């Protein structure tokens, strides 16, 4: 690291969030893919219920981790806060233009936190994560009756609300047919985007990884290793650094 100065950027919480999120998202995509193509794979009803249960439990980890990151966006260090990771703010468009031109020329200004282009990707991924989390929790409740909405769904469709424990996934015991149909209609606006955004999710993840690799190679600041060590390296002072 000759002639390079080390700068601290990502705190431990941010790094833990990133890798827990990465592992849980990959696991959700893998299990979700199997569920999506369950008929072609010849998976039984019991097998599908098991897969959906696994998907939901991974989803809980994903949602808890995401919730903590949202909180950390207000109380974390400077580079973890929303002001530093989302597009916008004073001078953002100028910074975006300068960075884009510099990136094309091969002499983009160094950024310790997310660069202006990277912030656009962060915003897109964050919106997608929130939509998938919200729709996923509703689907978990309307499909296999898991928290936080599962019990409410059981009450909605039950013939006898004193026997909610009889209502099981893919069973019609103690289920009112008309109310069940109503519940499934309620579910449609949530399941459609959850399924369609699955493909968008895969595309954005691939673009995110590709952008990180290309940026690391071109700028050589350790953008990838920083998510392990919390540190980046620069020849010149980064645009957004307070250090002298």
Annotated domain spans of the chain: 5-142+198-234
- Integer Cα distance of 159 and 241 in angstroms: 63
Both tokens of 14, joined, read 């941010």
Q: What is the pLDDT of residue 193?
A: 92
Q: What is the pLDDT of residue 231?
A: 95
Q: What is the pLDDT of residue 2?
A: 58
Which stretches in the chain have pLDDT values below 50? 1
Q: What is the pLDDT of residue 244?
A: 54
Q: What is the pLDDT of residue 243?
A: 65
The top-level CATH class assigned to 5-142+198-234 is: mainly alpha
Q: What are phi and psi of 232, to 5 degrees?
A: -120, 165
Q: What is the pLDDT of residue 113?
A: 94
Please give the model's pTM, rounded to 2 decimal places. 0.91
pLDDT tens across 177-236, in order? 999 999 999 999 999 999 989 999 899 999 999 999 999 998 889 999 999 999 999 988
**Closest Cα to residue 14, out of 244, 240, 226?**
226
Q: What are phi and psi of 234, to 5 degrees?
A: -140, 150
For the chain, what is the mean pLDDT? 93
């Amino acid at each position: 690291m000759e002639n390079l100065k080390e700068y601290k950027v990502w705190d431990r919480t941010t790094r833990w969030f990133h890798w827990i999120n990465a592992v849980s998202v990959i696991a959700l995509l893998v299990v979700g893919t199997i569920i999506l193509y369950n008929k072609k794979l010849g998976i039984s009803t019991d097998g599908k219920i098991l897969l959906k249960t696994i998907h939901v439990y991974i989803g809980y980890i994903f949602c808890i981790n995401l919730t903590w990151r949202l909180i950390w966006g207000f109380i974390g260090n400077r580079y973890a806060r929303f002001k530093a990771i989302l597009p916008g703010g004073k001078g953002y468009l100028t910074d975006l233009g300068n960075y884009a031109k510099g990136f094309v020329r091969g002499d983009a200004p160094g950024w310790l936190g997310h660069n202006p282009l990277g912030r656009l990707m962060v915003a897109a991924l964050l919106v997608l994560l929130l939509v998938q989390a919200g729709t996923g929790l509703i689907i978990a409740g309307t499909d296999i009756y898991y928290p936080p909405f599962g019990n409410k769904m059981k009450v909605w469709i039950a013939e006898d609300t004193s026997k909610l424990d009889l209502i099981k996934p893919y069973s019609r015991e103690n289920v009112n047919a008309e109310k069940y149909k109503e519940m499934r209609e309620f579910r449609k606006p949530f399941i459609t985007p959850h399924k369609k955004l699955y493909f968008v999710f895969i595309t954005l993840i691939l673009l995110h990884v590709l952008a990180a690799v290309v940026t690391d190679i071109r700028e050589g600041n350790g953008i990838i290793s920083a998510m392990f060590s919390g540190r980046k390296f620069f020849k010149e002072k980064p645009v957004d650094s307070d250090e002298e």
